[in-house]
Amino acid sequence: MLVKLWRLVTVMLIGLSMGPALCHLLEMPAKMTYDGSLWLTLLHTLYPPAFGTVGAFFEVGAVVTAVALAFLVRQRRPAFGWTLLGALCLVTAHATFWIWIAPVNATMAPLTPETLPADWMRLRDHWEYTHAARAVLQTIALGALVFSILVETPTNASKDQPA
C-alpha cells in the first residue's frame, strides 16, 4: 500500500509541476515575437509571484518523491526501469533550471527596459528554449512514471475483477 500511495503522490506532484512548465512552452511562440521591453516586463511581473514559490514546491516535491519511488521499486522489474527514467528526467529538468535558467533570471532581475543589454535576445532565447526542454523532460517523466504503474497492472484479470 505504501508504494501505491507513494506513486499517487509522485504522479500528482509531477502533474502539478508540469503546469508551469507547459505554460512556458505554450507562451513561447508569442513571447518570441515581443520586443525587449514587453518580454522583460513579463519576466519581472508574470512569473515571480507563483512560479517561483508554488511551482518550485511542486517541482522539488516531484523530484524528491520520484527519486524515493525509484528506491522503493528497485526490486520490481520492469517498473524500476521506467521509474528510474522518470526520476532521471525530473532530476535533469531541475538541474537544467539551476544551470541555465537561474543565471539568466539573475542577469535580468535588476534590469529595466532602458538598461536591457544589446544581446537580450540571446538571453531570451536561452531562457525560452531551456524552459521548452524542461517541459519535454517533465512530460517524458510523467509518461514513464505512469507506464511504470501500467506494466504492473494485471492483464489477465476477468471482466468482473478490477485491474
Phi, psi of 81 (to 5 degrees): -60, -45
Q: Which domain holds residue 20?
A: 2-33+53-150
Say what the pTM is: 0.89
Domain total for the chain?
A: 1
pLDDT at 61: 98
Please report whether residue 40 resides in a domain: no
Please report whether residue 131 resides in a domain: yes
Please report whether residue 45 resides in a domain: no
Show the 3-state SS of the chain: CHHHHHHHHHHHHHHHHHHHHHHHHHHHHHHCCCCHHHHHHHHHHCCCCCHHHHHHHHHHHHHHHHHHHHHHCCCCCCHHHHHHHHHHHHHHHHHHHHHHHHHHHHHHCCCCHHHCCCCHHHHHHHHHHHHHHHHHHHHHHHHHHHHHHHCCCCCCCCCCCCC
Residuewise pLDDT in 10s, the chain (163 residues): 899 999 999 999 999 999 999 999 999 999 999 999 999 999 999 888 788 889 999 999 999 999 999 999 999 999 999 999 999 999 999 999 999 999 999 999 999 999 999 999 999 999 999 999 999 999 999 999 999 999 998 887 656 555 5
Please report whether residue 13 resides in a domain: yes
pLDDT at 48: 80
- State how far the Cα of 120 lies from the Cα of 60, in Å rounded to an integer: 29
- State how far the Cα of 99 lies from the Cα of 26, in Å rounded to an integer: 22
Please report whether residue 135 resides in a domain: yes
